[in-house]
Amino acid sequence: MAPGQGAGSADLEVVDALVRASFVTMGVLTKVAAAHDLSLTQLRVLAILRDHRATMGELAAYLGLDRSTISGLVDRAEKRGLLQRVANPDDGRGIHVVLTEVGVRLAATGAAQVAEGLAASVNGLSAAEARRLATLLDRLHAP
């Protein structure tokens, strides 16, 4: 590996810190989800649908899961009354998925609890440090 390229030793420090922080973050998310009898993926589905109306295929693409997996997830959430399949007038194939009232409320509660749970972790930082951290994190881009 050429010097300055790839995973150099200077990067290892950040990578380790990122992995550690991510497990803490995922722990909070999983705990919030479990408190509402949701899996992490179900919580993500609610969060996505809170902002966007999506088709089954769009959910699959966004989450990086197979469409058959989404069918099951949506089945169970629909049975719980959290969301609904809605026919798409423009295309008889692409079904829209939308949150119900109950789903909207649960998504909002979940988001608030995630923020609350993570705020505890962030409490050690000053407001300026928190802003700096947010800025640096946002400059990481997906591979």
Partner DNA sequence: TATTGTTATACTCTATAACTATA
Partner DNA sequence: TATAGTTATAGAGTATAACAATA
**Site for a second copy contains 89 (CB under 8 A):** no
**Site for DNA contains 81 (CB under 7 A):** no
Out of 28, 32, 70, 99, name the contact with DNA by CB under 7 A.
70
**Site for DNA contains 48 (CB under 7 A):** no
Stretch that binds DNA, among 4-12, 20-28, 58-66, 122-130 (CB under 7 A): 58-66
**Site for DNA contains 67 (CB under 7 A):** yes
Neighbouring residues of 63: CB distance < 8 A, sequence distance ≥ 6: 41, 44, 45, 48, 70
Stretch that binds a second copy, among 49-57, 74-82, 83-91, 129-137 (CB under 8 A): 129-137
User: Which of 96-133 are b and which e, b meaning 16 or more Cβ less than 10 Å from the residue's Cβ?
Assistant: bbebeeebbebbeebeebbeebeeeeeeeeeeeeeeee
Spell out the alpha helix ranges (H) of the chain.
Answer: 9-35, 40-51, 56-63, 67-79, 101-122, 127-138
Closest distance to DNA from the beta carbon of 69 (Å): 4
Q: What is the C-alpha separation between 96 and 62, in angstroms, rounded?
A: 14
Out of 93, 126, 128, 142, name the contact with DNA by CB under 7 A.
93
**What does the binding site for DNA look like in residue numbers (CB under 7 A)?**
38-39, 41-42, 55-58, 60, 64-76, 85, 91-95
